[in-house]
Amino acid sequence: MYKLSILILSLYAFIHASDSTDFPQQMQDFSLYKQSQQDQFQAYKQAQMKAYDAYKKELSAFWDDPKLSSKENWLSYSKDHKTRCDVDFKNEEIIIQTVASSAKDAQLNLKIALAKAVSIDTKTLQEIDPLEQKLSKIPKPFDLEDAPVNKKPILSTVIFDNNLTKDTLKKYVEKKISTPKMVVVESNKVKESKVYTIAVKLPSDTMLKRSKIYLNDVTKYAKKEGLPKSLVFAIMHSESSFNPRAKSHIPAYGLMQIVPRTAGRDTYKYLYKKDKLVSGNYLYNSKNNIQMGSAYLHILYYRYLRKIDNPKSRLYCAIAAYNTGSANVAYAFIKRKNMGMAAPIINKLTPTQVYGMLIRNLQYDEPKHYLKKVSKRMALYTEVYGD
């Protein structure tokens, strides 16, 4: 409470001081406020990492590899940690595993896990996930922007279209889970138990059906930010494979993989004229994530890269910058991280030449592959949704 009072008083003094001779003191007070904000957020991140580590330690009592969700995989565990479901959005497959003492128990556990995976929505998942329950107990910094996770289907519309009922769910699970299909190995962790595994392929049009869930929000925010829908969809596809629980090691969160301390902060300031950090929950909300991802693309295209004249050349640079930053894009052309100096050089090139320079000269392989993937996927989503 003492820290919070100091912060509020410091900010108040900065905003309301009217005498120009007080300016040095204003800056000192504001610096104190910003440093405290950063310290609180860093402490919050450290508390989160401790919670992740503690949860993984709990899981390691049952699993050799206590995996958690990543950019393209959503991992969920049962309350007793003995059953887990790994939805691989990139490879369109569900891997379900359980540690059990008999095939009969294993089959029941696998059925329950599969039924939950293909029917649960994002809001319910947030509320019942054991790890999220732990994270929700960590005190948040006073000025961290938080929001509830909105309710969106995850796999139900992929598998059942709009015909999910108790009967259709039961038939699906019974068909997919059967004893002969299970792979069984001895458990290295639990005595007199085995690890039972079954793989379930998702439909071949999973990616397209997942994209349709977000069509309204993509259409709204792409139009607002002066972007083609196909660009936003291609970025989402490339960043997360439409995994709504995507989380990278950086960490970046959600469909468009927003990093709270960089892109998240820049876009919040652009959208709301306030300097705030956003929480993981805020970014797991698909509407917020798409809004912020679209806004960040706007910042890249219309602000950081505004001196690039040709729209297509600027688009290629914006795609690469979303992955590696505009300074690294400039480096690909002039070996210096200065877009103001790079723009005149870029303007002398055709879009095809710009694309080629980026593919050859970007410092790392990841943004090179990223530019190729997003460019190809833009063409695919243009066919489906138009611009």
DSSP conformation letters of 155-194:
SHHHHHTT---HHHHHHHHHHH--GGG-EEEE-SSSTT-E
CA 343, CA 308: separation in Å to the nearest integer?
5
Mean pLDDT, to the nearest integer, of 289-302?
A: 98
pLDDT tens-digit map of 3-16: 444 444 444 444 45
Residue 90: how many other CB atoms lie within 10 Å: 15
Burial of 255 (0-12, 13-18, 19+ CB in 10 A): buried
Q: Which two tokens stand for residue 314?
A: 């600027």
Q: Which two tokens stand for residue 129?
A: 């996930």
β-sheet bridge partners, residue 97:
84, 197
Pick from 6-20, 77-91, 151-165, 279-293: least confident: 6-20
- As a whole-number percent, the residues of the chain with pLDDT over 70 amount to 91
| CA angle in degrees (0–180, nearest 5) for 301-267-382 | 45
For 39-67, letters b (16+ CB in 10 Å) and e give: ebbeebeeebeebbeebeebbeebbeebe
pTM score: 0.89
pLDDT tens-digit map of 19-71: 555 656 665 655 666 677 678 888 998 999 999 999 999 999 999 999 999 99
Q: Which two tokens stand for residue 326?
A: 């505009």
Omega within 30 of 0 (cis) for the link into 180: no
